[in-house]
A and B are shown apart, each in its own frame.
Chain A
Amino acid sequence: MVLDGVAAILEDKIKDYVEFMTSKGVKVINSKDVPSFV
């Protein structure tokens, strides 16, 4: 058994993940957007 731990395979869960993290005060972005947040 392996864990599901990379965004690419969490596609069906990612919306809930982002909503949860946002509710905790954590911003979630895509890697290509990192430069604009630095």
Chain B
Amino acid sequence: MQSKNALIIVDVQNDFCSGGSLAVKESVKIFPVINQLRETIPFNYVYLTTDWHPLDHISFASNHQGKNPFETITLPNGKVQELWPDHCVQNQAGASINKNLVTKPTDILIKKGQNSNVDSYSGFGTPPEDTGLEKDLRDRGIEKIFIVGIALDFCVKATAVDGAGKGLFFIIFLC
């Protein structure tokens, strides 16, 4: 019997696409690749992770007086926090999935970064945040997880590394 698989599409949201507040260069290139693969490959489940930040989120430079986007601060716990422009604010247009990505009603939406005090690059969440992704994958008996999205060197990377650390089998595919 073939093992169950899933595709996780990471953060394909307006703010990370052209014209967004934290746009990723040439992100438009991933849309046709993902859309075509979804047409041709019968993934058992498809997840869409999203940054879903409150306005007072710790990663927003606007919440730190005198700081600018792309600077860093050191938090009381010693962790270095990168600062970003306001992005993917809950219920705002920038947080919506980009219309160029083909989605389906059965897609499973995962929201991360909802805790004001913790940045969560990983789709699993960063403690104390738990997005429920791990439980959902395990409950569905998914053994192989393909992952793609933006940004490759931030949230895609963090989600895959985090998942592998939990004993899940992750395959990143490059567009």
Query: How many A residues have CB within 8 A of the partner chain?
Result: 27
Chain B contact residues, majority secondary structure: mixed
Please determine whether B25 and A21 come into contact, CB atoms closer than 8 angstroms.
no
Contacts of A31 in B (CB 8 A): 33, 37, 148, 173-175
Contacts of B148 in A (CB 8 A): 31
Please determine whether B173 and A34 come into contact, CB atoms closer than 8 angstroms.
yes
| A1-20 interface code vs B (CB 8 A; 1 in, 0 out) | 11111111110011001000
- A–B Cβ pairs within 8 angstroms, 24 of them: A1-B70, A3-B16, A3-B24, A3-B151, A3-B153, A4-B153, A5-B151, A6-B27, A6-B29, A6-B30, A7-B174, A7-B175, A17-B153, A21-B161, A24-B160, A27-B169, A27-B172, A28-B171, A28-B173, A29-B171, A29-B172, A29-B173, A31-B33, A34-B146
